[in-house]
Structure 1
Amino acid sequence: MIQFRKISRGVVTALVLGTTLAAPVVAAADGVRVGSVSTTFRLLGRNDQIAVDRYDDPKVSGVSCYLSHAETGGVKGSLGLATDPSRFSLACRATGKIVPPADLPDSEIVFGLSTSFFLKELRVSRLYDRDKHVLIYLAWSTKAMTTGGSPYNAITAIPLDAP
C-alpha cells in the first residue's frame, strides 16, 4: 500500500524559494523596451506580441544586445501568470568602442528575463573565444523542475579586432 504524506504550504514555499535562490545568479541588467508588434488579437487582456528589448553588457562597454521574444497575452498574460513560449532571436552589436576588462571570464551569464510566473527564464551568456578574439553571446531558455532542457537557442558574435 502506498502512503502519501501531506506537505504543508510552508514546506512547499521553502522548496520553491530554495530552488529559486539556488539558481545561478544573473547579472542585474535592466532591459530597455525598444518596441513591440502585436501578433494575435485577444478579446480579453492584451494581445500576444513580439517584444524587442535592448540589454547593454554590464562588463563590456560598447556592446548592446537586442533580444526579440514572444510574450503571451490574454487574461493570464496580462496578470503575469502565462508562460511565454521559448521563441526568441538575438543580435549583439558594437554600439561604441568595445573595452573588455582584463579579467573577463571565458563564460558568464550576462542577463536574464523571466518568461513565466513559475521559474522559467530566458538567459543570455557571454562566451569569450580568446584564440580568435571574439565575444559570442548565446540566448537560451531554462525550465525549472523538468527533466530536459530547452533546445531553443540563438547565437551572435562580435569580433574585438574588427577592421
Structure 2
Amino acid sequence: MNMLGKYTTTLKTSMTTVLVTAFAFTCISDFAHAQKIGSVDTVFKFIGPDHKIVVEAYDDPKVKGVTCYVSRAKTGGIKGGLGLAEDKAEASISCHQVGPISFDKPLNQQEEVFNQSLSILFKKLRIVRMVDMQRNSLVYLTYSDKLIEGSPQNSVTAVPVDRKITIPIK
C-alpha cells in the first residue's frame, strides 16, 4: 500500500472514531430528560416524519417547584426519521412555579441546567439559570450552540420567588 492509501485509511478510521465518540457523548450528556407535552406538524413529508414544533417540559433539578416549557422545531423527512437531521436553532421558553419553591442546596449565580442534542454532531439546545438577587427571581435563558458557531437567537423567562424565601447562592 502506498503512502496515500495508508493516510486515507488512517483518516477514515480517525473520522469514524470521532463520529462514534461524538454520537455517544451526545446521547449521554443530557443533564435532564425532557417530558414531551405535545407537538404540531408544520410541513407534510411523503417519506419520514413531518417537520413539527414540539413542546417539552423540563423540571429544574435544583429548584423544586419550577418547570420550564420549551417549544422548538424538529426536522422530519428521511434524515429526521434516522436522527441525522440538524434541527433549527429556534426555541422559545416559558418557566413557571408549579408547586412550592424550595432549594436543597445553594445555587450557582449562573449555571447550565439542561442541554439537549439538536444534531448528531455538536449542536445543542441549552438552558441556563441565572439568579437575580435584587428582584429575588430565577431567570432562564435558552439558546443553541455549535462547536464552531452558535446562534444569537434566544428566549428568556423569569420566575419570581416569594420574598419570604431567600435564594441560596454559593
* TM category, shorter: 0.7 to 0.9
Between the aligned partners of 1:26 and 1:139, the Cα distance in structure 2 is 17
- Partner AA of 1:137 in structure 2: Y
Which of 95, 98, 113 is the equivalent residue of 1:95?
Answer: 98
Deviations 1:118-137 (A, max 9, x none): 11110101011122211000
Question: When the two structures are superposed, what TM-score results if normalisation uses the length of structure 1?
Answer: 0.85
1:76 to 2:79 alignment: yes
Percent pairwise identity? 39
Superposition deviation, residue 30 in structure 1? 1.2
Higher relative contact order (CA 8 A, sep 6+): 2
Q: Which runs of 4+ in 1 moved over 2 A?
A: 4-18, 25-28
Which position in structure 1 is the counterpart of 2:167?
A: none
Give runs of aligned pairs for residues 119-134 of structure 1, distance below 5 A.
119-134=122-137
Between the aligned partners of 1:45 and 1:14, the Cα distance in structure 2 is 28
Unaligned runs of 5+ in 2: 165-170
Which of 108, 111, 117 is the equivalent residue of 2:111?
Answer: 108
Between the aligned partners of 1:27 and 1:162, the Cα distance in structure 2 is 32
Question: When the two structures are superposed, what TM-score results if normalisation uses the length of structure 2?
Answer: 0.81
1:27–1:109: 8 Å Cα contact kept in structure 2? no
Alignment length, in residue pairs? 156
Q: 1:40 to 1:126 in 2, by over 3 A?
A: same
Q: Which structure is larger by alpha-carbon Rg, 1 or 2?
A: 2
1:138 to 2:141 alignment: yes
Between the aligned partners of 1:129 and 1:57, the Cα distance in structure 2 is 16
Q: 1:29 to 1:115 in 2, by over 3 A?
A: same
Unaligned runs of 5+ in 1: none
Q: 1:78 to 1:26 in 2, by over 3 A?
A: closer
